[in-house]
Structure 1
């Protein structure tokens, strides 16, 4: 099961790099391998899950508004299909933050207002490795989707490890980057 999810995450990153027509062609050939669903054990879990899903759906809708505005050719649905995230950071091509979701504020302690117009590197600090900084920079220059774990810092200076998936968003060329982030430690 873990391997299947891992393969699906890799597939999602690949599909997100295709234009919508190519992605739809491939997605129609994919059959989900998870067919068993467990019964609901309690309404409290269902309600909490519903709130999380609703917030995530609103975040995805916000990204779709940006996608329409900037005429991105990425398949936004494919990007979000099976990628877990807590925070979303949207930057322009120069890596200046244009928008973050509430999950970003919850994860980092920084307000949306504070983050806007800054580069995500403001989250880095003493324990952020030089290697991961170089790897991020190199991958951004390649303009291809990638995944990396980095040590960032919350507003209260507490370090945390974050898994970041970065997707270049493009119309005729890359115009923006979107990072889906999950705290792993």
Structure 2
């Protein structure tokens, strides 16, 4: 007799309650129609899709937050164009004076610093002993030009471990530049 998977699960419960002698009497009559163990590959595929979906939802949520800032500040930037095919770990919005007004959860995950710690600080608290003075100077100069740019800089996490970070900074403007959006990705 062949059994379905659900019948096999019930049968497993039943057979686990039998003594060895009782089980020996019936074991030859039990023939599963499916393998006893499901291949892990099927669960791996589900797991990969699940985590990819979660990441996409977090990305969408982050972009919605940036759009909310854009609406409130009446930015003229095309937000959808900014994020078109853009992969990121962290997002930071600063005011025109470069004080942080918002960071996403990815910022905390990448740096170890909480949102509440980062807000009202300038991003230079992420820099440390091996942060290139040339890179810092290039960033300062490019910020004054008020044009989008990308730079790679050595930053430091809260636990003081260094990491290379690709920073894409975009001036956000209504009539004038009111904020900067930093799109950050750890360089591996």
User: What residue number does 1:139 align with?
Assistant: 142
- Whole-Å separation in 1 of the counterparts to 2:181 and 2:157: 20
User: What residue number does 1:163 align with?
Assistant: 166
Matched, 1:99 2:102: yes
User: What residue number does 1:85 align with?
Assistant: 88
Which deviations, in whole Å up to 9, do the C-alpha atoms of 1:56-115 show, x marking residues without a partner? 100000000000000000000000011110100100000000000000000000000000
- Whole-Å separation in 2 of the counterparts to 1:106 and 1:149: 19
- Whole-Å separation in 2 of the counterparts to 1:174 and 1:82: 24
So what's the TM-score if we normalise by structure 2? 0.76
- Whole-Å separation in 2 of the counterparts to 1:153 and 1:146: 21
Aligned mate of 1:52, from 30, 38, 55: 55
Corresponding residue pairs, total: 145
Matched, 1:130 2:130: no
Matched, 1:172 2:175: yes
Runs of 4+ in 1 over 3 A off after TM superposition: none
Task: Give the C-alpha shift of residue 43 in structure 1.
Answer: 2.1
Task: Give the C-alpha shift of residue 126 in structure 1.
Answer: 0.6
Higher Cα radius of gyration: 2
SS at the partner of 2:75? coil
- Whole-Å separation in 2 of the counterparts to 1:153 and 1:122: 8
User: What residue number does 2:3 align with?
Assistant: none
So what's the TM-score if we normalise by structure 1? 0.77
SS at the partner of 1:48? helix
User: What residue number does 1:115 align with?
Assistant: 118
User: What residue number does 1:71 align with?
Assistant: 74
Gapped regions of structure 2 (runs ≥ 5)? 1-43
